[in-house]
Structure 1
Amino acid sequence: MTVEKITAVVRVSTPTVVPLPVTDDSQSVILEPYHVDLLPEYGYASMEYLISGEAYGEPYCTRLLLRCPDDASRFTGFVVMEPSHLCGGTSIWRHTSRWLMRNGHAWLEVDSQATSAVGKIKNVDPERYKGIRFIPGPISDEFAANIPFIRDATKEVLSEAYTDYKAKWWPATLQSPEILTAASHALRSGALGLVAQRVFLSGLSQTGGVTRRFITHSSHLRLPNGSPPFEGFLPCQSGGEALPDVPGAKIIELVGEAEFQSVRFPCGIGGQMRGTAHRRPDSDTFRLYETRDADVYPSPGANIDTIGESDDILRDEYGNAVGGVRTVHSDAPLATFVAATPKGRPNLYWGSQWAFSPEKMQVIYKRVENYRLIAGRAIQKQIQQGFLLPVDAEVLRRETIEAVHF
């Protein structure tokens, strides 16, 4: 289905962009230091800017953090834009940085949410970021302190508490959609030292929600020249109703275990997104989605198994979900993974991981060599299915499998 006309098309105002140089006395605040040390190895530069203008009828100024090839001739024209998390952090960079840098793509952090821009950036270095301003509202620490947790609560009670909690996000970030659109203009106009041809908006968890909400509530926003701001959207692990189509843009959603209760049933196959429809069935249990003019078939999806017709996930002897897209972490497990924190401070905001003891590892695998053999087979299977690139498999082997001892 196509997104309905929410309101008249709105062109955002042309933003002002100024560089924010790094000096011995003034350094960038980095929310996600993961793989920043690899920038020189890949020939990448990190540059910071302040972007300002008007959004939601009020002035704003916030930070942009760009990572791109230091040799402009290597830039492909493709940019992944990521809003920083409500409480700080950029998980998409964490998961895609090596792939981006190997291929000459760029990544842009946009601190479009007032909560983290003020709470995690401006408040950390008030002098460097004195220009940052938004409509006044709560900051990240206030949200973090109020994450719902209820001891011995049913999943329905905890889910309702989270629904109420998440409803408070959007009134605190009213200017975010227009800022994201303005940042896309900055990328395309050359204001950041490069000229983007394609910009994808992506986020994970709370910022996956930001991406979804842009699709459902802000698809009427346009660049100053009237063009759509994004060629694609990639919301990850945020959950919700099946997303509508956005004309001229691709939408790919990555759904994880945490969103499982919100994505069941509706097309008659457990695990499918609510409200989705299929062009044609290939069989009772299999759907192949084709990409027009593509010479590569998409990787086959897989549903997480449930207990009967319930939404309760079927778990194996180690407590991990059965079914779904399998990885080395599920087929050669080193821990129990659950997309919630059921002990200590029970909540749905953080996942939890319980590493196996050396004694348990010996019971499961007998010897380290057996573990590495099983893990190697799991990685090879994932490569064959198209869910893992060989170059990433080598990193996984070196940094995870070879590091295991018991």
Structure 2
Amino acid sequence: MFTNEKSVFIMAFRTRKRPLFRVVEPTFQFLHETEASKTITYEPDQSELLATYGYEQREYLMSGVAARSSYCTRVLLRRPADPLRFSGLVIEEPAHLWGGTTVWRLIDRWIMRNGHAWLGVDSQGPAAIDQTKRLDPDRYKEMHFKPCPPLDDFMKPLPRIGNISNEEYLDNYGDFKTKWSVATSQSPEILTAASHGLRNGNMEICAMGIILCGHCQSGDVVRNFIIDSSHLHLPGGHVPFEGYMPCQSDGGPALLDMPNAKIIEVFGEQDILWTKNLYGTVEEPIPHRRFDSGAFRLYEVPGLPHRESRYISLAELKRLSGRYFRFDGEMDKRSPRSPRSALIATIDSSEEIERDIFETAIGGVRTVHTDVPVARTINDSPKDRPHWFNGKDVAFTPTQMLEIYKSLANFRRQAADAIYRQVVNGFLLPEDAEILRRDALEHVTF
């Protein structure tokens, strides 16, 4: 079951009523690095690759007015050191609630080898103040937002389902999201203002197209922008983004087409189970599903947990992201057209996920890891905080591998065929095929 084309049109007609609002033009201040004052980054951000690809990192303070209150936050730009190499495309990513920018980490090599740029935006007040500013109060002394609760108020784990009923757990999680939305009410206008700065030379580049992307909680930020902030425009009246890519968010109702923009939505297998539990109804057990249009694609990835697993998020999401927004030939002219949506197979009446003999989900974005498995994939290993799930693989024994594939040569032949199908189906860039082949094949022996 998924939302049909008529329903999407009716929802769009009913919800696109907010008057157009032009955000306040921001100002920018370049932040120099010294021995005593360095740019703050989170997680393994792979910034050591910048020099290898001829890229540089520049940090700015962006100031303005959002949600009727002043703000000052930081933005982090990674771009070609040679301006002539810049493609004109920028990937804009809001920083995660707990810090970090996962989209950059997943697709950095694709960004850099194509001459694109990336902008990280600390748009969420509690996280920006209590993560970035707290780590270097002198460097970021000017950062401020409208008054909001401290991040510690949101860092407390919600009670596990074992301690309370499932209904109470989901209610608590809903309360958490509501409070966070109120505390970050400036975020949509800040993200829009950053788009303006990228286009008019405030950061020494002039973007021709900008894609707003996020993963996990920042994927929710992108998804909520699509739902609630389509009325926001740049100071000159232009739409802020040519495309949106919410990855592995909490889901919710089917997204509507955006004016003059494309949407690619990505869910892992575990995310589907979660969004069914959180938002599903008898009429629409998996509510985020809808038909394709000239501006929308939905990709569901079997075996992909919410958090990164051994291969899939580093390989498959990177390859998905390398197909930016060519549904009808627009955006990146050098890329093939985006393939049609790929949904994980579900049983009609219950919408339970349909599985093969290895317990792998059927349908969706097929990969060498699902079609020629070397392990049984378990995508649900819950952690303390809501919706933080790591996957794991239970490797087949050498005896099992021999029973399944008969010989190592046959395994390698089947895996090579699966990789070829990924290329033909549009879910793997040809230039990445050899890397994936080495990752998937060369370490396997039995």
Measured against the shorter chain, the TM-score band is 0.7 to 0.9
The aligned residue for residue 284 of structure 1 is: none
Residues 171-214 of structure 1: per-residue CA shift (max 9 Å, x gap):
12111011101111111111111111111111122112111211
Q: Are 2:128 and 1:89 equivalent residues in the alignment?
A: no
Q: CA deviation at 1:134?
A: 1.4
Counterpart Cα distance in 2 of 1:323 and 1:153: 34
Q: Are 2:225 and 1:185 equivalent residues in the alignment?
A: no
Residues 293-334 of structure 1: per-residue CA shift (max 9 Å, x gap):
679554244331234521322334444322211112222334
Please give the TM-score of this superposition, normalised by the length of structure 1. Answer: 0.85
Cα separation, partners in 2 of 1:162 and 1:379, compared to 1, 3 Å: farther
Aligned residue runs from structure 1 range 6-405, under 5 A: 6-151=17-162, 158-238=169-249, 239-260=251-272, 262=275, 273-274=288-289, 276=291, 291-292=327-328, 298-342=338-382, 345=384, 347-356=386-395, 371-404=411-444
Q: CA deviation at 1:374?
A: 3.7
State whether residues 87 and 143 of structure 1, in contact with CA within 8 Å, keep that contact through their aligned partners in structure 2.
no
Residues 35-90 of structure 1: per-residue CA shift (max 9 Å, x gap):
32221111111111111111112121111111110000010111110001111121
State whether residues 44 and 68 of structure 1, in contact with CA within 8 Å, keep that contact through their aligned partners in structure 2.
yes
Cα separation, partners in 2 of 1:167 and 1:74, compared to 1, 3 Å: same
State whether residues 157 and 384 of structure 2, in contact with CA within 8 Å, keep that contact through their aligned partners in structure 1.
no
In the alignment, structure 1 segments of 5+ residues that lack a partner are: 280-289
Cα separation, partners in 2 of 1:140 and 1:331, compared to 1, 3 Å: farther
Q: Specify the SS of the correspondent of 2:392.
A: strand
Residues 334-373 of structure 1: per-residue CA shift (max 9 Å, x gap):
444455434x748533232244276687566677666544
Structure 1 window deviating more from structure 2 (221-230 vs 163-172): it is 163-172
Structure 1 window deviating more from structure 2 (256-265 vs 6-15): it is 256-265
Counterpart Cα distance in 2 of 1:304 and 1:310: 14
Counterpart Cα distance in 1 of 2:230 and 2:46: 33
The aligned residue for residue 286 of structure 1 is: none
Q: Specify the SS of the correspondent of 1:135.
A: coil
Residues 265-307 of structure 1: per-residue CA shift (max 9 Å, x gap):
99x999784565879xxxxxxxxxx944679554244331234
Count of aligned residue pairs for this structure pair: 394
Counterpart amino acid of 1:232?
G
Identity of paired residues, percent? Answer: 44
Counterpart Cα distance in 1 of 2:30 and 2:158: 36
Cα separation, partners in 2 of 1:19 and 1:211, compared to 1, 3 Å: same
State whether residues 76 and 104 of structure 1, in contact with CA within 8 Å, keep that contact through their aligned partners in structure 2.
yes
Cα separation, partners in 2 of 1:297 and 1:117, compared to 1, 3 Å: closer
Counterpart Cα distance in 2 of 1:234 and 1:191: 25
Q: Specify the SS of the correspondent of 2:388.
A: coil
Q: Specify the SS of the correspondent of 1:216.
A: helix
Cα separation, partners in 2 of 1:405 and 1:121, compared to 1, 3 Å: farther
Cα separation, partners in 2 of 1:278 and 1:153, compared to 1, 3 Å: farther
In the alignment, structure 2 segments of 5+ residues that lack a partner are: 1-8, 295-325
Q: What is the aligned-residue RMSD (CA, Å)?
A: 3.3
Structure 1 window deviating more from structure 2 (296-305 vs 173-182): it is 296-305
Q: Specify the SS of the correspondent of 1:229.
A: coil
State whether residues 88 and 120 of structure 1, in contact with CA within 8 Å, keep that contact through their aligned partners in structure 2.
yes
Structure 1 window deviating more from structure 2 (12-21 vs 309-318): it is 309-318
Cα separation, partners in 2 of 1:362 and 1:340, compared to 1, 3 Å: closer
Please give the TM-score of this superposition, normalised by the length of structure 2. Answer: 0.78
Counterpart amino acid of 1:381?
R
State whether residues 83 and 112 of structure 1, in contact with CA within 8 Å, keep that contact through their aligned partners in structure 2.
yes
Q: CA deviation at 1:235?
A: 1.6
The aligned residue for residue 285 of structure 1 is: none
Cα separation, partners in 2 of 1:100 and 1:147, compared to 1, 3 Å: farther
Q: Specify the SS of the correspondent of 1:341.
A: strand
Counterpart Cα distance in 2 of 1:149 and 1:85: 22
Counterpart Cα distance in 2 of 1:171 and 1:142: 13
